[in-house]
Amino acid sequence: MTEPLALSLGQQFELERMNRAIDETADPKVLQGIAKQLLQAWQSQKAATQWVMRQQLGAPQSLTRGLPSPGLGQWDQAA
């Protein structure tokens, strides 16, 4: 059985840093910018995950497109 995904210590610190930045921001435009950065990072990670899956499975891109990435929930499946 595989181990569940866990954040590294560095990732935990980065998550806390971003949470604090969001909590401290009252300006909707700044929050909008943060949201866009996070969306870009999420989609980049999703693309990287799918690339790794294709490499490991040896499957063409069309067969793995739209597969849910671990831990990302329903938004990920709309790809």
Q: What is the pLDDT of residue 19?
A: 93
**pLDDT band at residue 29 using 50, 70 and 90 as cut-offs:** very high
Average pLDDT of the residues in 2-31 = 91
SS (H, E, C) the chain: CCCCCCCCHHHHHHHHHHHHHHHHCCCHHHHHHHHHHHHHHHHHHHHHHHHHHHHHHCCCHHHHCCCCCCCCCHHHHHC
Is the pTM higher than 0.75?
no
Does 75 score more than 50 pLDDT?
no
**pLDDT band at residue 5 using 50, 70 and 90 as cut-offs:** confident
**pLDDT band at residue 10 using 50, 70 and 90 as cut-offs:** very high
